[in-house]
A and B are shown apart, each in its own frame.
Chain A
Amino acid sequence: SQTIHQWPATLVQPVGSPLSLECTVEGTSNPNLYWYRQAAGRGLQLLFYSVGIGQISSEVPQNLSASRPQDRQFILSSKKLLLSDSGFYLCAWSPTMGAEAFFGQGTRLTVV
């Protein structure tokens, strides 16, 4: 069966520090991968999606970036965090674009 791993679960980072969140999927090949952000009490905002290795589409211009160095690995990065980057970051995968999505446990990021 397919599983998705996301880490760390929680993270407190100072303003201006770098960020690297990692997500890996097991049990499937060539998944579509997504990064969503959820602000406190709000909906899910699509940040990036990827249909294949090295292919990244950005939805929201910001100081975040994403990379997909391997088929089942998706990384969210920032060179310098802002206070507004705080939130709940969720990685997800789906077998095809627009199909049901399976989410990781999420990372709660607090920028201080």
Chain B
Amino acid sequence: GQQVMQIPQYQHVQEGEDFTTYCNSSTTLSNIQWYKQRPGGHPVFLIQLVKSGEVKKQKRLTFQFGEAKKNSSLHITATQTTDVGTYFCAGPLYSGYALNFGKGTSLLVTP
């Protein structure tokens, strides 16, 4: 069945360094979503990408959706300690279905 894979599983950076997490699906996705879960918290929706090749920015965060709509990335420029948490990508298994989450990338930022 369709799976959403995410790499890396963990990333430890110094504050100010950049960070990127990658998401790959075995099949074409109708949309890809990104969530952030702070330690001890619940996932919080960040953004949704729908169009092939779409790029969206939220301050220091840049989200991309691949041309084939099978991969996506989240890039954080100049990380801050407030960026600590686990970042999940998610996509519906098929159109009109519940979200299938990747295993997430846990980001640790040290000052």
Contact = CB atoms under 8 A, between A and B. Distances in A.
11 contacts: A41-B106, A43-B101, A44-B88, A44-B101, A46-B98, A46-B100, A98-B92, A98-B96, A100-B45, A105-B41, A106-B42
A46 B42 contact: no
A97 interface: yes
A59 B101 CA distance: 13
B97 A97 contact: yes
Contacts of B98: 32, 34, 46, 49, 59, 97-98
B8 to A, nearest CB: 14
A6 to B, nearest CB: 9
Given A46-B100, A98-B92, 12 more contacts: A34-B99, A41-B106, A59-B98, A98-B31, A98-B95, A98-B98, A98-B99, A100-B45, A101-B43, A101-B45, A105-B41, A106-B41
Interface of B: 6, 30-31, 33, 35, 41-45, 48, 88, 90-92, 95-104, 106
A31 interface: no
A7 interface: no
A57 B104 CA distance: 25
B92 A97 contact: yes
A105 B48 CA distance: 21
Interface residues of A, number: 23
Contacts of B101: 36, 43-44, 46
Nearest to B10: A41
Contact of A42 (B31, B91, B103): B103
Contact of A98 (B97, B102, B103): B97
Interface string A61-99: 000000000000000000000000000001000101111
A22 to B, nearest CB: 16
- The 6 A-B residue pairs with the shortest CB-CB distance, nearest first, are A98-B92, A43-B103, A44-B101, A103-B42, A100-B45, A49-B98
Nearest to B103: A43
B17 to A, nearest CB: 23
A63 to B, nearest CB: 21
Nearest to A43: B103
